[in-house]
Copies of this chain bind each other. A is one copy, B any other.
Amino acid sequence: MERIKPHTLSGFMELLPGEQAMMDKIMDTIRRVYGLYGFTALDTPLIESAGVLLAKGGGETEKQIYRFSKGDSDLALRFDLTVPLAKYVALHYAELTFPFRRYQIGKVYRGERPQRGRFREFYQADIDVIGDGSLDIMNEAEIPSIIYRVFTELGLQRFVIRVNNRKILNGFYDLLGLSDKAGDIMRTVDKLEKIGPEKVGAILRDDLGIAPESAGKILEFMAIRGGNDSVLARLGEYTGRNDLFDKGYGELRTVVEYLKDFGVPEDHFAVDLTIARGLDYYTGTVYETQMTDHPEVGSICSGGRYDDLAGFYTDKALPGVGISIGLTRLFFILSDCGLLDRELPTAPADVLILPMAEDRAFAVETATAFRAAGIRTQIYSENRKFKAKLTYANRLGAPFAAILGDDEIQRRMVSLKDMKTGTQELLTVEDAAETIRARVALSRGIAPIKE
C-alpha cells in the first residue's frame, strides 16, 4: 500500500489527550461562568456565503479569509464570531428577545502568516449583549465583571482589565480640532507602551503633521495615570468644554462605579486612556486585558461598546457590548509561560478495572455499578500480564485501579489500588465507589491555571 506521511497543517492546534483535557477544562469553566450570567449559547455555521461575511468588506481581514467555491456558491470560513452574530440577529430579529445575551465558543479562521503562537484556526469565546434601539450602560460594567470572574475561576490572578471610553478620546481630539486625524492618532498612541512617548510624539508631529503644542497636549493627556479615582479626578479637569467628552466621562465614571458593585477588586481594573481598540465600530467603553507579568503577549481579552451591530444587514438600530477571549492563543501562552497546573487530573478515567480471571462478568458488573455512581470507568480488557496492565494504568494517569482476581470475584469485592501511593485495599464495590468519588470530588476543585 502506498503511504502518505501523516501531518497536521501548520497554524492548526492539535493537542495530545492530556493537554486537550486541560483545554476542555478551561472551556468548560468559561462556558459555566458565561452561563451563570444568563447568556444563551449559540452555534452558527463555520461556512457562510462570502457576500454575507464580507458585507463590511475591505481591510486586512479580507486578505486573510479562507474563501472558495462549491458548485456556483461563493463561500467563506468565518474569521470572527461577531459578523455571524450580526447576521444571526438581523436574520432572526423577529424571533429573538432583546436585550439578547448570547455567548459563543467556536473556531474561526484567518490565513495569517504562520509564526510561533499565531494560529490559522483558533477558538474565540465571545459574549455580547444586544439591545433593540437602546442598551443600558450597566451592561458595559457587567461584561468586564464576567471576564474578571472567568479568569479568577480559571486560576489566573495577576491580570488587569483596562477600561477606556471612545467618547472621551473622540471628544478630546475634537477639543484639539483634530477629529479628522483621530483614527491615525489612536493607532499611534497605541504604540506608547512599545516605543515610548518621545517616538510617539515624533510620529504625531512629523508623520501626522500635528502642531507641536497639540502633540504635547496629547502626550500629556495620555500620561494621566494612577489609581482609578485619581485618573477620574484628573479627567474631570477636562470637562465642560466638549459634550462628547463629557458624555464619555460620565459613562466611564458610571462603569467604574458599577465595576465596584459587581465585586471587581480595584487592582484588577484600571482606567487607561491609551487603549482605543482598532475597530472603527466601537463607540463607548472599550476593554483590553493584560497579564501583569506578561505585557509582551498583549491583550488576552478585548472588546467594547458599539452602536450599530448589523447595519450592513438591517435598518434596525442594534447597539451592543461584547468581549472576546482568544482561547487558542491564550492556551498557547499559558502553556508557554508554564502557567498550566500540571496537578490538574487529565486522565480519561477515574478508575481502571483490571480483570485478572477468565470470567469477566464481575468486572462488567463492577464497571456498571461505578458508572451508575458517576465514576468514569474503563475496563482493561486486553489479555496481558499483570505488570503490563498496571503499566497501562500508570501511563493513563488513572488515580485508581480496581483489581479483580479469582479471590475478589468469589468474595464479590475489589482490590482498590491507589496509583499514587501504591496502597491497596480490599473493599466492597460500594465502598470502593465511595473512595473514588471522594477523590474525584476533591480534584474537581483544582483550577487549570496556577500562577
Q: Smallest CB-CB separation from A351: which chain B residue?
A: B38
Interface residues of A in 335-356 (CB under 8 A from B): 348-349, 352
Cβ-neighbour of A36 out of B88, B312, B374 (below 8 A):
B374
Q: How many copies does the complex hold?
A: 2
Asked if A116 lies at the interface with its beta carbon under 8 angstroms from chain B, I say no
Distance of A352 from chain B, by nearest CB (Å): 7
Within 8 A of B (CB), among A1-36: 1, 3-9, 12-17, 20-21, 23-24, 35-36
Interchain CA distance A109-B37 in the complex, whole Å:
33
* Distance of A379 Cα from B101 Cα, bound (Å): 11
A374 partner residues in chain B, CB cutoff 8 A: 36
* Interface-located stretch among A39-47, A170-178, A207-215, A431-439: A39-47
A398 to nearest B CB, angstroms?
Answer: 8
Contact present for B44 and A378 (CB under 8 Å):
no
Any B CB within 8 A of the CB of A313 = yes
Complex partner residue of A313 from B6, B109, B364, CB under 8 angstroms? B6
Is A450's CB within 8 Å of the partner chain B? no
Residue from A109, A136, A383 with most neighbouring chain B CB atoms (10 Å)? A136
Q: Given A4-B312, A17-B102, A24-B43, 9 more contacts at CB 8 Å? A: A1-B312, A7-B91, A12-B45, A13-B45, A66-B70, A97-B392, A136-B382, A258-B364, A262-B364
Identify 19 residue pairs between A and B in the complex whose beta-carbon atoms are under 8 Å apart, listed by A's number: A3-B313, A7-B49, A8-B45, A8-B91, A12-B45, A16-B95, A16-B96, A17-B42, A20-B43, A21-B41, A35-B348, A36-B375, A36-B377, A38-B376, A47-B66, A47-B121, A66-B70, A138-B360, A261-B365
| Residues of A bordering B, CB below 8 Å | 1, 3-9, 12-17, 20-21, 23-24, 35-49, 51-52, 55, 66-71, 73, 75, 86-88, 90-92, 95-97, 99, 101-102, 107, 109, 111, 121, 131, 134-136, 138-139, 142, 258, 261-263, 310-315, 348-349, 352, 360-361, 364-365, 368, 371, 374-383, 392, 395-396
